[in-house]
Structure 1
Amino acid sequence: MKTFDLSRFAYKSGVSSNYTSKYAADGELARSATATTPSTPSSSASTPPLARSHTENDAAAPKAKKRKYAYEPPETFAELSGVPDFMTHDCDLMLVGINPGRTSATLGHHFAHPSNAFYSCLYESGLTPTKLRPEQDRILPVLNYSITNLNHRPTVTQSQLSKAESRAMVPELCWKVHEYKPKLVAFVGKSIWDDVYYVFKSNSSGFDYRVDKKKKADVKRSGDCDETAGFLLQKFKIVHEDGTESLFFTLPSTSGLVATYQKDAKVRAFTRCKETLDKIKEGGIDTKDMHVVDSRKLADSYAEKLQQENKAL
């Protein structure tokens, strides 16, 4: 089994770790609704649970501040095995989370923490006919949806991943987009789009970062969870060999730890996503001015790595 050195992903010098990939499948992916096993951290010496911060005199101490998390290497959560993808080909929608949280990784289901509003947002926006439970994530392909994560390794919060680590996962996401050909890819969390955008901007034809930066600066923020906050259809697309296209939509995080917007505001963003998907299915979205991502070379680089890992097993 091949071991990768992730020391370059650490924010602080001197922090290093090993990461063992188990994502490689032994054969062609199924052509129907399929569960795939994501990469998981290698088993190493177990790390004790993270301790809560405290003061010497709790009674006299001021109100505790919200705990901040910093980068943690993969072995910190080596006991957690991650969450499988549930995918189907030629799907309408591919939902992409940031990475599995501790609860999701423990239970083996996406967005499983009780405070996460993901399944409520899907239902209240009309994307699902009923409110699903986390253990029903495997039936999303029945609705012609796929679900995956940008980064497979579990953490308590996203801040325990490094930006470089998440950006390094974009080629794998491109491979999934080429493999399953979703009409729309929806990122559940703006930070996912930030990482994908970082890779896309240098791999897209006719893209001028300076022009794009000026356009963003000219947008007057409304303060709501709307297009002005970046929750909208993005100006990039992946074109497949058969001429079909995959577009990209950014949604707010549904985690209970992210309280920037209330749930009703998040539902409105999910509703716009559904309306966008409906327009795509009806052919009502003009994509001619969108930037075409040269995603094939990104996907091929991941496929080559996958092949090498298969040989090493």
Structure 2
Amino acid sequence: MPWLTGCWRPFHHRRPRTATTRPPPPSSPFRSRYPQPPPRCEPNEEVVQRGKRKSAEIAPTESAVPDVLAPGLDVVFCGINPGRVSAAAHAHFANPRNDFWRLLNDAGFTARLLEPNEQFELLEHGIGATNAAARTTPGSSDLRRADFAGAADRLRHIAGELRPRGIAFVGKEAYRGTFGERADHGSQNRTLGDAGLFVLPSTSPANAAVPYAARLGWFRALKEWLEPVERIAVRALVLDEKQRALLVKFQDEAGQVWWTTPGGGIDEGEDLEPALRRELAEELGLDDFELGSELWTREHVFAWRRVIHRQRERIWLVEIPGHEPTPRVDLAAELVVDVRWWTPDELEVTTETLVPQRLPALLRDLRENGPPAEAFDAGV
């Protein structure tokens, strides 16, 4: 059956990862204890090799604590808001009684125990940090609902522009404040773009009732969850004699919608062509066709139903005289809500999300130049 094929990260775009931050606020009594990072933290060679895209412009918040963000991170930790100690230090989780940095090290995210003033070194480990609310308060109970206005949209922008693999909320209240809904600890059905969401216990000293071992268990579970499940998929660009393309529409639990080519994952022991024929029969009721040239390849990492996947796709051309889609399985169970033909003109002007995003241009090239001599990366 079809699998999520939302926005993905092309592996041929390899650009340095650089920190996205604001100049530090004025000096404070805590400056000597928590020295300030430079206004811009340049990555070392390891970070350069890990980077996927150049830094995107993320709108600064009014927070006293700067974001630690860069493209292509494994995970962004999202706290609820800065406490007074963190605000004075301009550093995430700076209260000496906060267990965040110790948990990070004990769970294997960092090679050594980092200090709060070393927060920008997190980028070398594929880790970022931000907060759901910007306002400094003595405690999270002092926050108001208005403090979280725009939090979900801001995280969605971070997920779309910087493409982290996952976003981990440090405490249930950080998640609840962002989305206005309760959550259990662990992975969530909701996603932001391709980024999966995970809820951790709070690391605040106010959460001391939860034993350290229990919190460490959740941090270790997060680290394991961030490792993608490998998957191979096959898809078909189905065209008729009018050069219309037959596409399927996905809508996930959070309401995110996109159109893509029919196809799906390969079952264990299945070969590529039989898998593609099975998928087209199930999704479209299409049996009688000749498999054409292999056109494109794609690779992307995405969250789907609480699991992170790395999917490698191969896409073939299938040309047919015409066909009325008659699915033979319950597509709604796979979150497919529509199947229809698209004319070239419709694809050129649509505001709907297409996957790949360059699909109209790819189709123009195919019409003008024919199938490529060798399959190439179709891009985002």
Distance 1:32 1:99 in 2: 25
State the one-letter code of the partner of 2:199: T
Say if 2:253 is the partner of 1:253: no
Structure 1 residue 259: deviation in Å? 2.2
Candidates 167, 171, 185, aligned match of 1:231? 185
Say if 2:101 is the partner of 1:119: yes
Match for residue 307 of structure 1?
A: none
1:169–1:237 Cα change, 3 Å: closer
The question of whether the paired residues in 2 share the 8 Å contact of 1:38 and 1:85 is answered with no
Counterpart secondary structure, 2:68:
strand
Say if 2:146 is the partner of 1:164: yes
In the alignment, structure 2 segments of 5+ residues that lack a partner are 1-14, 26-61, 233-249, 259-380
Distance 1:295 1:158 in 2: 34
Write out aligned runs for 1:23-172 (5 A): 32-37=17-22, 82-172=64-154
Structure 1 residue 38: deviation in Å? 9.1
- The CA deviation string for residues 142-171 of structure 1, in whole angstroms up to 9 with x for no partner, is 111111111112111111111232143221
In the alignment, structure 1 segments of 5+ residues that lack a partner are 1-29, 41-79, 202-215, 217-228, 240-244, 297-313
Structure 1 residue 195: deviation in Å? 2.3
Structure 1 residue 237: deviation in Å? 1.7
Structure 1 residue 39: deviation in Å? 11
1:33–1:129 Cα change, 3 Å: same
Q: What's the TM-score once normalised by structure 2's chain length?
A: 0.46
Match for residue 205 of structure 1?
A: none
Distance 2:16 2:160 in 1: 13
The question of whether the paired residues in 1 share the 8 Å contact of 2:105 and 2:111 is answered with yes
Identity, % of aligned positions: 30
State the one-letter code of the partner of 1:95: F
Runs of 4+ in 1 over 6 A off after TM superposition: none
State the one-letter code of the partner of 1:179: E
Q: How many residues align?
A: 192
Distance 2:212 2:22 in 1: 31
More strand by share: 2
Distance 1:235 1:104 in 2: 31
1:294–1:109 Cα change, 3 Å: same
Counterpart secondary structure, 2:153:
helix
Match for residue 276 of structure 1?
A: 225
Of structures 1 and 2, the one with the larger relative CO (CA 8 A, separation 6+) is 1
The question of whether the paired residues in 1 share the 8 Å contact of 2:132 and 2:178 is answered with no
Structure 1 residue 33: deviation in Å? 2.5
Match for residue 72 of structure 1?
A: none
State the one-letter code of the partner of 2:77: L
- What do you get for the CA RMSD once the two structures are aligned? 3.1
1:234–1:161 Cα change, 3 Å: same
More helix by share: 1
Distance 2:110 2:254 in 1: 30
1:185–1:38 Cα change, 3 Å: farther
Distance 2:176 2:152 in 1: 11
Q: From the CA coordinates, give the structure whose radius of gyration is larger.
A: 2
1:293–1:107 Cα change, 3 Å: farther
Counterpart secondary structure, 1:187:
strand
Counterpart secondary structure, 1:85:
coil
Distance 1:193 1:118 in 2: 17
Distance 1:90 1:36 in 2: 16
The question of whether the paired residues in 2 share the 8 Å contact of 1:95 and 1:185 is answered with yes
- The CA deviation string for residues 65-104 of structure 1, in whole angstroms up to 9 with x for no partner, is xxxxxxxxxxxxxxx9611011110111111111111111
